[in-house]
């Protein structure tokens, strides 16, 4: 096993496919322990058996979908209790290539990380291009593939569980920045990340627009939680929040012109707005 410098890992499952086993193999040798938090209502016995072959893996089944923030907090607290310094946060559809994770661990060993809340890789989505800078400071990042500094997690606080899914990562990154901590992106480290909701891309004014085709529930959470983040951080990060507000408006037209199930998605966007205004959060019944 590679010397992992005291690194734990959490991977969140929800009705996983068999490919998740290979994805886990891409990072299993670089961490001391893997907390697998399964949000599936029914356990996939075949996958469970294969997971049991990993010696450094602990399986946790919640028998219901608890979202993203709850498993992250659960694993972070377990890791802290066992005196781990870093938590690798993964989802079931992501995997590292080559020495990507090794490079991130090397960064920890060779740099002062006392003010770094998250170290994140380059998320390769649908063959997108690599960034030009090798290492850069970014405002926000997606959850998967991150090394979370647990010492700073204790100071910054928990991931917000009432958001359930969507914007959990962005809210936490903005909070880190607000408190004076950084999110460092190492572009030489590549995480292949599958966004299953992307159906196609189109060219508009010489720019590619990804048509995500998120289902109606995702549209609800994206709308509700984005409005929450905008309201919470509009003074500290006005440019970011303005862009997010514009994205909400653009998504409405994207659904109208390019997506299926238009009426239901638009209905749930408005439900998301109403629930945000009424301070109704958590998981919704569908």
pLDDT in tens, 187-242: 999 999 876 555 555 555 455 555 566 899 999 999 999 999 999 999 999 999 99
Token pair 């994770």 is found at: 101
Question: How many angstroms separate the first and last alpha carbons of the chain?
Answer: 44
Q: Is the pLDDT of residue 78 over 90?
A: yes
Give me the residue spans of the domains in the chain.
7-193, 200-277
Residue 132 pLDDT: 61
pLDDT band at 63 (very low <50, low <70, confident <90, very high): confident
Tokens encoding 103? 């490079």
Whether domain 7-193 has CATH 1.10.375.10: no
Q: Is the pLDDT of residue 113 over 70?
A: yes
Q: Which of 27-36, 143-152, 253-262 has the lowest mean pLDDT?
A: 253-262
Q: Which of 67-71, 183-187, 259-263 has the lowest mean pLDDT?
A: 259-263
187 phi and psi angles, rounded to 5 deg: -75, -15
Token pair 């996939």 is found at: 44
CA distances for 206 relative to 85, 100, 111, 162, 198, angstroms: 45, 32, 40, 39, 19
How much is the average pLDDT of 61-72? 92
Residue 124 pLDDT: 86
Closest CA to 78 of 4, 185, 171, 153: 153
DSSP state of 278: T
How much is the average pLDDT of 50-76? 94
Inter-residue contact 140 to 240 (CB < 8 Å): yes
Q: What is the pLDDT of residues 79-94, one digit of tens each?
A: 999 999 999 999 999 9
pLDDT band at 1 (very low <50, low <70, confident <90, very high): very low
Looking at per-residue pLDDT, the higher value among 120 and 5 belongs to 120
How far is the C-alpha of 197 from the C-alpha of 210, rounded, in Å? 10
- Residues near 171 by beta carbon (within 8 Å), at least 6 away in sequence: 159, 160, 163, 225, 228, 229, 232, 233
Residue 157 pLDDT: 97
Residue 131 pLDDT: 58
- Residues near 44 by beta carbon (within 8 Å), at least 6 away in sequence: 15, 16
Looking at per-residue pLDDT, the higher value among 240 and 6 belongs to 240
**What are the strands, taking DSSP E only, across the chain?**
7-13, 33-38, 57-61, 86-91, 94-96, 116-124, 135-138, 146-149, 182-193, 200-204, 207-211
> What does pLDDT average to over the chain?
90
pLDDT band at 285 (very low <50, low <70, confident <90, very high): confident
Q: What is the pTM of this model?
A: 0.91
pLDDT band at 278 (very low <50, low <70, confident <90, very high): very high
Residue 3 pLDDT: 41
């Amino acid at each position: 096993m590679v010397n992992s410098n005291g690194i734990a890992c959490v991977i969140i499952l929800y009705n996983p496919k068999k490919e998740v086993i290979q994805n886990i193999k891409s990072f299993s040798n670089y961490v001391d322990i893997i907390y697998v938090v399964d949000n599936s209502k029914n356990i996939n016995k075949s996958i469970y058996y294969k997971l049991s072959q990993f010696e450094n893996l602990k399986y946790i089944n919640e028998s219901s979908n608890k979202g993203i923030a709850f498993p992250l907090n659960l694993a972070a607290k377990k890791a802290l209790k066992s005196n781990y310094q870093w938590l690798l946060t993964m989802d079931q559809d992501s995997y590292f290539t080559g020495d990507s994770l090794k490079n991130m661990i090397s960064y920890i060993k060779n740099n002062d990380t006392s003010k770094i809340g998250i170290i994140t890789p380059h998320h390769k989505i649908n063959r997108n291009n690599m960034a030009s800078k090798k290492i850069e400071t970014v405002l926000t990042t997606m959850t998967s593939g991150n090394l979370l500094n647990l010492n700073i997690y204790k100071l910054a606080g928990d991931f917000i569980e009432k958001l359930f899914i969507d914007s959990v990562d962005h809210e936490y990154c903005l909070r880190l920045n607000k408190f004076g901590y950084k999110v460092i992106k190492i572009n030489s480290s590549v995480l292949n990340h599958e966004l299953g909701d992307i159906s196609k891309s189109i060219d508009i004014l010489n720019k590619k627009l990804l048509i995500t085709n998120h289902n109606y529930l995702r549209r609800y959470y994206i709308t509700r939680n984005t409005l929450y983040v905008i309201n919470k951080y509009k003074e500290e990060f006005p440019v970011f929040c303005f862009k997010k507000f514009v994205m909400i408006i653009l998504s409405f037209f994207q659904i109208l012109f390019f997506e299926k199930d238009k009426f239901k998605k638009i209905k749930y966007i408005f439900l998301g707005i109403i629930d945000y205004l009424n301070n109704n959060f958590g998981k919704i019944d569908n």
